[in-house]
Amino acid sequence: MISGFRLVFSLGAFALCAFPGWAGEPLVLFNGKDLTGWQGMGGAPENWRVKEGTLTCTGGRGAQWLATSREFQDFDLRLEFNLPANGNSGVFIRAPREGAPWVAGMEIQLLDDYGPKWKNLKPDQFTGAIYAALAPSKRATRKAGQWQSLRIRCVGRKCEVWINGEQVVDADLEKIAEKHGKKVPGLRRKSGLIGVQNHGDPVSFRNIVLRQVDRQP
């Protein structure tokens, strides 16, 4: 049986190996064994399961999203996700405790980009997009059912997103807010919760780690 300390150490070590070039100490947001550090939003988290280091949403009734118990401002977040065919989910950043997190905060979209269900979506609704505000510059996703990596780096008014190691977003949030701020006021937020979405589809996450970034004066 792996002790809690050894498990956290192992996950942190995996993060440094899985994401080369990442300096500094990672903060393991998901410990791989339970929902410590997370809270159900919009319902009890009875629709989320933890097994063998993986956090899975059944897609059923319960929490609409899971949020971290603490807020973050400037950060480099990395995780792995796995969606089924036609699956839909997302990662929320700088989200408040009240209101729809994809509007009052920001959502980085996760989707089975190749699913026939989504063939008529707008460009800013595919994986890696700042949902309803900025489309990814390219499609870097794999087929459904495979583990994929997501990196989100937000420092000040700059937000960058990588899918499977390929950068797909390099955004000036101030400029995006000028155009989409009424529809997505969360573009102007400077800090908030990090969360994972229940969109009614099964979705799995693992190795959710974050490094806080100190801005230079």
Q: What is the pLDDT of residues 153-174, one digit of tens each?
A: 999 999 999 999 999 999 999 9
- Cα–Cα distance for residue pair 22/212, rounded to 1 Å: 12
- Cα–Cα distance for residue pair 41/66, rounded to 1 Å: 6
pLDDT band for position 214 (cuts 50, 70, 90): confident
> Cβ-count burial of 123 within 10 angstroms (0-12 exposed, 13-18 middle, 19+ buried)?
exposed
Please compute the mean of the pLDDT values over residues 51-78 and round it to a whole number: 97
Classify residue 176: in a domain, yes or no.
yes
pTM listed for this prediction: 0.88
Please compute the mean of the pLDDT values over residues 22-35 and round it to a whole number: 85
Tell me which residue of 7, 89, 17, 108 sits closest to 54, measured CA to CA.
Answer: 7
Classify residue 115: in a domain, yes or no.
yes
3-class secondary structure, 101: helix
How far, rounded to the nearest angstrom, does the alpha carbon of residue 213 sit from its chain's CA centroid? 17
pLDDT band for position 20 (cuts 50, 70, 90): very low
3-class secondary structure, 88: strand
Query: What pLDDT sits at residue 202?
Result: 97
Classify residue 118: in a domain, yes or no.
yes
pLDDT band for position 25 (cuts 50, 70, 90): confident
Query: What pLDDT sits at residue 215?
Result: 72
pLDDT band for position 24 (cuts 50, 70, 90): low
What's the structural domain count of the chain? 1
Do 35 and 17 touch, CB atoms closer than 8 A?
A: no
For residue 174, what are the CA distances in angstroms to 8, 113, 135, 187? 36, 28, 16, 8
Indicate if the pLDDT at residue 28 is higher than 60: yes
- Cα–Cα distance for residue pair 172/99, rounded to 1 Å: 24
Query: What pLDDT sits at residue 120?
Result: 95
Helix (H) or strand (E) holding 138: none
Classify residue 217: in a domain, yes or no.
no
CATH for 137? 2.60.120.560
Do 103 and 184 touch, CB atoms closer than 8 A?
A: yes
Indicate if the pLDDT at residue 6 is higher than 80: no
Indicate if the pLDDT at residue 17 is higher than 90: no
Do 156 and 169 touch, CB atoms closer than 8 A?
A: no
Indicate if the pLDDT at residue 141 is higher than 80: yes
Indicate if the pLDDT at residue 151 is higher than 60: yes
Domain residue limits at 57: 4-212
Between 83 and 217, whose confidence is greater?
Answer: 83
